[in-house]
Amino acid sequence: MRWILFFGALIGSSICGREKFFGDQVFRINVRNGDEVSKLRQLVNSDSFKLNVWKSPTTFNRPVDVLVPSVSLLPVKAFLTSHGLEYSVTIEDIQIYHEMDSIAADFPDLASRVKIGHSFENRTMYVLKFSTGGGKQRPAIWLNAGIHSREWISQATAIWTARKVMSPGISPDFWQAWGAPAVSHVLGPKGRGGKIVTDYQKDPALTSILQKMDIFLLPVANPDGYVYTQTHNRLWRKTRSLNPGSRCFGTDPNRNWDANFAGEGTSNNPCSEIYHGPHANSEVEVKSVVDFIQEHGHFKGFIDLHSYSQLLMYPYAYTVKKAPDAAELVSDVLLPRVSLSLRHCQDPASGSSVDWAYDNGIKYAFTFELRDTGHFGFLLPAKQIIPTAEETWLGLKVIMEHVRDNLY
């Protein structure tokens, strides 16, 4: 892959976000008799846990769903265990799902939430669709984020892009002190605003893009890995699928696409960070996106957000050969309009999303590597999140405008 552009200045260096985060979760609690119902009532009526009951106990053997705030997770688990109440966690890291839901609810004419499948651990995968075209099938752009779960700036930038927090008076230090993961920094407790939803009809470029095309945004392309980075290992990169015969979990979901599968820059060792998986599309998270895009049939752009390096890359990654459209991708689209320095190098990677997109007829295919260049690496401080999202948005807009003007 050609690494062409070096974008964004490295701003400052301050606090390092090595916090762990336990997001709000939904518990499904089983009640089997009157005694258990009264224990459960005691729990949900207690002021100290601040629970939100989604589904109340009606009859025995019907489970009860309760939203448990992150600060109450440990005491609630202790209560349930000590009283012998059976429970399971049905939705982890509810916040990002809630946010997608509320964007769709707040801007029903522009945004909707589309279910595209499930992860290996059965988390629903949603994509946000931004469209002004009613039911019509229009040309579309795919924005992909979080395929490598530890690259939190990617999921955060995606959510900011959909909806950014501009709550006055909230400083980056607040986000940092809050001790939440990157996405939470962007959402905030009263997150409102947003790039696509707020700038539509204010920013002429975005407005005209949305008059011709739909934008699909997948903020968490690897939901199991993302939860795992919050609960077990901040630096987890892969999916969480089982590898029969191996003690190691997961496949690199950006080596699993059907583009020179298992070629250079991959590993056949399930313990490797770049394990390609047993076959192309073996990861249900990848297959869900592939199926959706192929069934849609009108995608003209595909952009995958990663970190870190501050580079913009174009196909191919699996060969040193440049894509046939390289001249257009580089010279016409970006270089004249975005003032960035240029860099070339080779870093082969087979089975990547963007190469798959390009080889399947999506000409405008790019990988962004967001901040930084390695000082903080994956543990980017919270105060760099908004500047990163802002500079990324400029690049995304340039590409989307070019697609708009060069539909094929």
CB of 367 to Zn ion, least distance (A): 8
CB of 265 to Zn ion, least distance (A): 13
Residue pair 145/216 in contact (Cβ under 8 Å)? The answer is no
- For Zn ion, which stretch binds (CB under 5 A), given 37-45, 210-218, 299-307, 388-396? 299-307
Q: Is 148 in the site for Zn ion (CB under 5 A)?
A: yes
Query: Distances from the Cα of 365 to the Cαs of 272, 284, 295, in angstroms?
Result: 27, 22, 18
Smallest CA-to-CA distance from 116 within 293, 354, 237 is with: 293
Q: Is 240 in the site for Zn ion (CB under 5 A)?
A: no
Residue pair 64/53 in contact (Cβ under 8 Å)? The answer is yes
- For Zn ion, which stretch binds (CB under 5 A), given 68-76, 131-139, 145-153, 392-400? 145-153
- For Zn ion, which stretch binds (CB under 5 A), given 98-106, 148-156, 177-185, 193-201? 148-156
Rg of the chain taking only CA atoms, in angstroms: 22
- For Zn ion, which is the closer residue by CB, 188 or 219? 219
- For Zn ion, which is the closer residue by CB, 222 or 288? 222
Strand arrangement of the beta sheet that strand 364-370 belongs to: 111-118, 124-130, 214-218, 140-145, 299-307, 364-370, 311-314, 2-6, 341-342
Query: Token pair for residue 299?
Result: 């995608």
CB of 148 to Zn ion, least distance (A): 3
CB of 201 to Zn ion, least distance (A): 34
- For Zn ion, which is the closer residue by CB, 27 or 356? 356
Q: Is 371 in the site for Zn ion (CB under 5 A)?
A: no
Q: Which of 123, 234, 306, 383 binds Zn ion (CB under 5 A)?
A: 306
Q: Which of 369, 390, 391, 401 is catalytic?
A: 369
- For Zn ion, which is the closer residue by CB, 188 or 253? 253
Known catalytic residue at 121:
no
- For Zn ion, which is the closer residue by CB, 131 or 309? 309
CB of 279 to Zn ion, least distance (A): 21
Q: Which residues contact 127 (CB under 8 A, 6 or more apart)?
A: 113, 114, 116, 216, 217, 218, 292
- For Zn ion, which is the closer residue by CB, 153 or 162? 153
- Separation CA 116–CA 126 (nearest Å): 6
- Separation CA 180–CA 53 (nearest Å): 23
CB of 306 to Zn ion, least distance (A): 3
- For Zn ion, which stretch binds (CB under 5 A), given 15-23, 144-152, 183-191, 221-229? 144-152
**Residue ranges in contact with Zn ion by CB under 5 A:** 148, 306
What are the residue numbers of the active site? 369
